[in-house]
Amino acid sequence: MSEKPPRYVTFSPKDFIHGPYVDCPKCGAKTFGVLTIGARQYTRRCSECFYPHPHRSESSEGYPLPALKKKVIYVDQFAISNMMKVLNATTKAHQRIDPFWKVLFEKLDTLCKLQLIICPDSHSHRNESLLAPSYEHLRRMYELLSHGVTFYDSWTIKSFQILRRLSVWLGEVKEPELDVRTIVHGEINAWQERCILSIGGLGDDIVEEIRASRDQLDEALAPIFKRWQTEGGKPFEFWYEQERKATARVLVELYQQQVTRAALASVGLTPFSLGSFMPNAASRVIFSIKERMRKSGIPEDTIQAKLIEFLASDVFEDAPYIKISAMLYAAMARQAAAGRKKPPGRGFSADVDTISALLLYCDAMFVDNEMYQFLHEEPIRNEIKKYKTSVFCLKVRDGFLQYLDQIKASAPRRHLQKVEEVYGEDWGRPFTELYKT
């Protein structure tokens, strides 16, 4: 039996040139297409004479693109899942899925293509998708809408907020700057290339680690919920202050666990492993705080005391993620104390973690109904107003669609003309064929 010949993919220079086409300055044919699209400019090349040709010393001319100010919209995982199902005929739920999800996808995808919004993906998207049976399909959905823009993991974002609060505590700044551009991989206000480069998934061991971590969070909340049920008659502020104070305590406990694990492994009392010496997220935060204190001139022999003083301060506890997460847990505690029987659903802690880390950086968020309810209770509602983030859920779906329609309606005509110049007149058509082969 003869061996099968190797399979090759052959590219022609023409494959990298696409419409819309205009008249070529050199040969005159209407074959002067778009070659590359960069963050601030795009280039053209003729698909026939290849002008400007680098081998002929013809320098490529860039066409400037105007500055963008995209709306940042976070779409919760349950919405990503439902939009995938409504477009993907291979899923069991395809036939019975609410048509709303197709409408939502079409509006989001069109606005992304028109360079008016970006829907960054997150570690929460990745983790929840890895635990689902349709990981690759889910990933295609959130990567299409994020176009390479990804939020840093929540611990990194939290550490940034903590270090900014430390700068306030040290008297270096009055108010910490909170800019979404500082907490994402990729550039939010960049004009996008047509193609999306995607890298493969993670190994089974990582998936099991994610599953175990999520289950551990859910299990840890169960006894706390039972305690809340016995604490009727206490005001919201009681649980809020408890949760705010718990942040520093948990941070220190996780740090101490890492130190103890490394110490036991170093003297042979536990099996040696590299993981025993790898600092966990809390340890990295503590190390960063101490290093910043050293750079600010605090003497080495007082750093430990200053660390404890900072973690016990109102300045630390006023970090936005601490206030938001404390309020969300306090809202659940208030319900439990008022007679709620049903404990928080699977993933509640992960949702609190994601929302508290990302909310203030987003122009809008589409979350599940329960989180929406909590975020619209007082005093949480009043706190959220400070960040000017619009929050929507399935119960107010029409409001979200109207919000998206308004973004498109507010786009200047010259902006839409530039999109057509770079991508073509049909570019805004939603990619509903995402899962068709």
Is the confidence at residue 351, as pLDDT, over 50?
A: yes
Is the confidence at residue 269, as pLDDT, over 80?
A: no
- Round the average pLDDT of the chain to a whole number and report it: 89
Computed over its alpha carbons, how large is the radius of gyration of the chain? 26
Q: What is the reported pLDDT for 130?
A: 86
Is the confidence at residue 1, as pLDDT, over 50?
A: no
**Structure pTM?**
0.90
For strand 71-75 and strand 364-366, is the pairing parallel, antiparallel, or unpaired?
A: parallel
Confidence of residue 345 (pLDDT cuts 50, 70, 90): confident
The 10s digit of each residue's pLDDT in 64-97 is 999 999 999 999 999 999 999 999 999 988 889 9
Matching residue, tokens 């839409």: 416
* Bridge partners of residue 150, in order along the sequence: 121, 185
- For residue 119, give the DSSP letter: -
Is the confidence at residue 22, as pLDDT, over 70?
A: yes
HSE-CB for 109 with a 13 A CA cutoff: 25
Segment among 176-185, 186-195, 347-356 with least mean pLDDT:
176-185
Matching residue, tokens 């490394």: 262
- Mean pLDDT across the stretch 288-315? 95
Q: What is the reported pLDDT for 286?
A: 93
Is the confidence at residue 175, as pLDDT, over 90?
A: no
Question: Who wins on pLDDT, 354 or 220?
Answer: 354
Token digits for 124? 């929460």
Confidence of residue 17 (pLDDT cuts 50, 70, 90): very high
Residues 286, 292, 296, 300, Cα dihedral to 10°? 40
Domains of the chain, by residue range, sit at 13-64, 68-412
Angle of CA points 60, 63, 69, to nearest 5°: 140
